[in-house]
Amino acid sequence: MIQLPSAGIYAIQNLDNGRIYVGGSVDVDRRIRVHQTHLARGQSDNPHIRQDITTYGPTVFRISILQRTFSTQELAELEQLWADRLGAFETGYNIRRIDPVNHLPRLRKPRALQGAK
Protein backbone atom coordinates (compact mmCIF):
# COMPACT_ATOMS: atom_id res chain seq x y z
CA MET A 1 0.00 0.00 0.00
CA ILE A 2 1.35 3.42 -0.95
CA GLN A 3 1.50 5.93 1.88
CA LEU A 4 0.68 9.53 1.06
CA PRO A 5 2.88 12.22 2.54
CA SER A 6 1.33 13.87 5.58
CA ALA A 7 2.65 17.39 4.88
CA GLY A 8 0.98 19.58 2.33
CA ILE A 9 -0.65 22.74 1.11
CA TYR A 10 -4.41 23.30 1.35
CA ALA A 11 -6.93 25.94 0.33
CA ILE A 12 -10.12 27.25 1.91
CA GLN A 13 -12.30 28.84 -0.76
CA ASN A 14 -15.47 30.87 -0.43
CA LEU A 15 -17.63 29.61 -3.29
CA ASP A 16 -19.86 32.71 -3.23
CA ASN A 17 -17.23 35.42 -3.60
CA GLY A 18 -14.21 33.42 -4.83
CA ARG A 19 -11.86 34.54 -2.06
CA ILE A 20 -9.30 31.94 -1.03
CA TYR A 21 -6.95 31.18 1.85
CA VAL A 22 -3.83 29.09 1.29
CA GLY A 23 -2.12 27.33 4.19
CA GLY A 24 0.44 24.64 4.79
CA SER A 25 0.88 22.03 7.49
CA VAL A 26 3.17 19.17 8.44
CA ASP A 27 -0.08 17.19 8.97
CA VAL A 28 -2.43 18.56 6.33
CA ASP A 29 -5.27 16.09 6.98
CA ARG A 30 -5.38 16.99 10.68
CA ARG A 31 -5.21 20.71 9.90
CA ILE A 32 -8.12 20.41 7.48
CA ARG A 33 -10.20 18.62 10.14
CA VAL A 34 -9.50 21.52 12.54
CA HIS A 35 -10.61 24.05 9.91
CA GLN A 36 -13.75 21.99 9.15
CA THR A 37 -14.63 21.92 12.84
CA HIS A 38 -14.08 25.67 13.18
CA LEU A 39 -16.15 26.44 10.08
CA ALA A 40 -19.01 24.23 11.30
CA ARG A 41 -18.99 26.25 14.55
CA GLY A 42 -18.85 29.55 12.68
CA GLN A 43 -15.30 30.21 13.85
CA SER A 44 -11.94 31.01 12.29
CA ASP A 45 -8.62 32.41 13.49
CA ASN A 46 -8.60 34.56 10.35
CA PRO A 47 -10.73 37.72 10.87
CA HIS A 48 -11.65 37.98 7.17
CA ILE A 49 -12.89 34.39 7.01
CA ARG A 50 -14.74 34.91 10.30
CA GLN A 51 -16.51 37.96 8.82
CA ASP A 52 -17.49 36.02 5.70
CA ILE A 53 -18.82 33.15 7.81
CA THR A 54 -21.14 35.72 9.37
CA THR A 55 -22.07 37.16 5.97
CA TYR A 56 -22.38 34.01 3.83
CA GLY A 57 -22.62 31.17 6.35
CA PRO A 58 -20.19 28.28 6.87
CA THR A 59 -21.54 26.09 4.07
CA VAL A 60 -20.13 28.25 1.26
CA PHE A 61 -16.55 27.26 2.14
CA ARG A 62 -14.77 24.37 0.43
CA ILE A 63 -11.48 22.99 1.73
CA SER A 64 -9.16 21.09 -0.59
CA ILE A 65 -5.62 19.79 -0.67
CA LEU A 66 -3.55 21.51 -3.34
CA GLN A 67 -0.32 19.55 -3.00
CA ARG A 68 1.25 16.94 -0.74
CA THR A 69 4.96 16.72 -0.02
CA PHE A 70 7.34 14.48 1.90
CA SER A 71 9.61 17.48 2.52
CA THR A 72 8.52 19.65 5.43
CA GLN A 73 11.46 21.94 4.63
CA GLU A 74 9.80 23.07 1.40
CA LEU A 75 6.38 23.78 2.94
CA ALA A 76 6.90 27.56 3.22
CA GLU A 77 8.12 27.81 -0.37
CA LEU A 78 5.19 25.75 -1.67
CA GLU A 79 2.70 27.71 0.42
CA GLN A 80 4.02 30.99 -0.97
CA LEU A 81 3.97 29.60 -4.52
CA TRP A 82 0.34 28.49 -4.27
CA ALA A 83 -0.76 31.67 -2.48
CA ASP A 84 0.81 33.80 -5.22
CA ARG A 85 -0.61 31.61 -7.99
CA LEU A 86 -4.15 31.80 -6.57
CA GLY A 87 -4.09 35.47 -5.54
CA ALA A 88 -4.53 34.69 -1.85
CA PHE A 89 -2.85 37.94 -0.76
CA GLU A 90 -4.26 40.41 -3.26
CA THR A 91 -7.89 39.32 -3.31
CA GLY A 92 -7.96 36.43 -0.86
CA TYR A 93 -7.87 35.81 2.87
CA ASN A 94 -4.12 35.52 3.46
CA ILE A 95 -2.97 38.43 5.60
CA ARG A 96 0.83 38.34 5.38
CA ARG A 97 3.46 36.80 3.17
CA ILE A 98 5.18 33.61 4.27
CA ASP A 99 8.65 34.02 5.78
CA PRO A 100 10.53 30.83 4.88
CA VAL A 101 13.21 31.46 7.52
CA ASN A 102 10.79 31.77 10.44
CA HIS A 103 8.10 29.44 9.11
CA LEU A 104 8.13 26.81 11.83
CA PRO A 105 5.17 25.04 13.44
CA ARG A 106 3.84 26.96 16.41
CA LEU A 107 4.48 25.21 19.70
CA ARG A 108 1.70 25.59 22.22
CA LYS A 109 2.01 25.37 25.96
CA PRO A 110 0.08 22.53 27.60
CA ARG A 111 -3.34 23.76 28.75
CA ALA A 112 -2.29 23.56 32.40
CA LEU A 113 0.49 26.08 31.73
CA GLN A 114 -1.41 28.48 29.46
CA GLY A 115 -2.57 30.65 32.36
CA ALA A 116 0.83 30.60 34.07
CA LYS A 117 3.23 33.51 33.58
**pLDDT above 50 for 47:** yes
35 band by pLDDT with thresholds 50, 70 and 90: very high
CATH superfamily of 7-94: GIY-YIG endonuclease (3.40.1440.10)
- The answer to whether 10 touches 23, Cβ cutoff 8 Å, is yes
Domains of the chain by residue range: 7-94
Phi, psi (rounded to 5 degrees) for 75: -55, -50
Nearest alpha-carbon partner for 12 in 30, 24, 27, 26: 24
Mean pLDDT is lowest, of 2-6, 31-35, 78-82, for: 2-6
Distance CA 72, CA 3 (A): 16
51 band by pLDDT with thresholds 50, 70 and 90: very high
Rounded to two decimals, what is the model's pTM? 0.81
Distance CA 45, CA 116 (A): 23
Across the range 96-108, mean pLDDT stands at 56
